[in-house]
Amino acid sequence: MKIYHLSHTDLDGYGAQYITKHYFKDVRYFNSNYGREIDEKFNQILSLLDDEEAMILITDLNLSKEQCLDFEQKIKDKNAKLFLLDHHQTGAECASEFAWYFLDSSRSATKITYDFFSKMLGEDAKLKLFSDVVNAVDIWLKDDNYFEMGKVCLGLIANAKDINKVMFEEQNSDYMFYLLSQAQKFFNDKNDYIGLDMHIHAIKKDFFKKDKDDTLSNLISAYVVDLLSKNRQKYEISYKEFRGILTYNIGNTSVIGNDFLVANDDYDFFIDITSKKTMSFRANGKVDVSAMAKHLVGGGGHANASGGLFNAFKDGFEYESIKSQVVELIDKKTKE
């Protein structure tokens, strides 16, 4: 059975997925905040369903009654089952009406997920301890022995913004799982939360490091450029006779943009658009991006580094919907 696991974007959300990763092999992971993103992620999962039997597992996200009814209807003719494990009391009404909606406000979603699957598939001492650590901080048990460790883990995940989950969802999940697996090494008899706090920088570097050591910023840039280079056709756009690439909320645009263009000298420009509607344009001497920025969004700057504001841009949670807006903008402006 294929499992599609949708969960929240915090420690408890990724923690619940870390549990399913232990017990199941054929799982694809999705993460969402509340609101419209849940619907978009659910629709994304629906688009991937085929005739194979599947389960859509939702954890650490409470749904509205309208969403429950909508999701039930959408899988009615699919070979898929819906199951939700959550602890937010605001889901009480839904839990009372829908058999697939399990709610227990006394435990974190990670602990609920561990308790549920361990009863069926066998207990694991390390994983139980992991669920207890997450539980201590997520439901704020200040007197619990694992509370301080949980706080460090909470910050570890909250500050792990190094891989953009919209563009690189699978790699982002791998990164989160790696961080959690390394954190577990400090869940020892000393309950060494101070040691974990001291080693976070090194743990992150170890994930991104390949052949040689470097600063964390440079290692992340090299990792992201490698991902972009390997999948460049997916991110490719064009402007007049020039060939470029479009990213979303990539961060550190100057470094990553320049590094990508150096590594891929058959590309002429690099654009990054953000959730705040800003656009950053980068080039490496092949096209004047100040003229491009002015033409497309009334922006400007320098020949190799410019910016502007795409006022009509509507933020999204899936790369293709973001790319289509920029492609449409370029098509419209170049045909005027």
pLDDT in tens, 304-323: 999 999 999 999 999 999 99
Residues 192 and 253 in one domain: no
Residues 160 and 264 in one domain: no
Residues 60 and 161 in one domain: yes
Indicate the pairing of strand 2-7 with strand 236-239: unpaired
pLDDT in tens, 152-167: 999 999 999 999 999 9
pLDDT reported for residue 251: 86
pLDDT reported for residue 47: 95
283 in Cβ contact with 303 (< 8 Å): yes
Is residue 215's pLDDT more than 90?
Answer: yes
Residues 136 and 29 in one domain: yes
Residues 54 and 130 in one domain: yes
- For the entire predicted model, the pTM comes to 0.94
pLDDT reported for residue 67: 97
Residue 94, by phi and psi: left (phi above 0), alpha (psi -120 to 50) or beta? alpha
Degrees, nearest 5: CA angle 64-68-72: 170
**Residue 116: inside a domain, yes or no?**
yes
Residues 235 and 198 in one domain: no
| Mean pLDDT in residue range 326-335 | 96
Q: End of a domain among 193, 208, 223?
A: 208
Q: What residue has token string 């460090």? A: 152
**Confidence grade of residue 138 (pLDDT, cut at 50, 70, 90):** very high
Residues 204 and 246 in one domain: no
Q: End of a domain among 150, 177, 208?
A: 208
**Confidence grade of residue 189 (pLDDT, cut at 50, 70, 90):** very high
Residues 182 and 46 in one domain: yes
pLDDT in tens, 14-53: 999 999 999 999 999 999 999 899 999 999 999 999 999 9
**Residue 217: inside a domain, yes or no?**
no
**Angle, nearest 10°, between helix axes 193-208 and 216-230?**
40
Residues 204 and 315 in one domain: no
Q: Which amino acid is at 264?
A: N
**Residue 219: inside a domain, yes or no?**
no
Number of domains within the chain: 2
C-alpha pair distances (Å), 65 with each of 27, 72, 86, 206: 26, 11, 15, 44
In angstroms, how far is CA 257 from the centroid of its own chain?
A: 21
Kindly report the average pLDDT of the chain as a whole number: 97
Residues 55 and 194 in one domain: yes
Domain CATH for 36? 3.90.1640
Residues 286 and 159 in one domain: no
**Residue 20: inside a domain, yes or no?**
yes
Is residue 126's pLDDT more than 90?
Answer: yes
**Residue 93: inside a domain, yes or no?**
yes
Residues spanned by the domain of 258: 231-335
Residues 246 and 169 in one domain: no
Q: Beta-strand (E) ranges in the chain?
A: 2-7, 27-31, 54-59, 80-86, 101-103, 236-239, 242-248, 269-273, 278-283, 300-301, 305-309
Q: Tell me which residue of 113, 97, 53, 37 sits closest to 318, measured CA to CA.
A: 37
* Assigned token pair, 267: 């590309």
Domain CATH for 291? 3.10.310
Q: Which are the contacts of 144, defined by CB distance < 8 A and separation ≥ 6?
A: 136, 150
**Residue 224: inside a domain, yes or no?**
no
271 in Cβ contact with 299 (< 8 Å): no
Lowest mean pLDDT among 8-12, 49-53, 241-245: 49-53
Is residue 336's pLDDT more than 90?
Answer: no
Return d(Cα 77, Cα 72) in angstroms, integer. Answer: 10
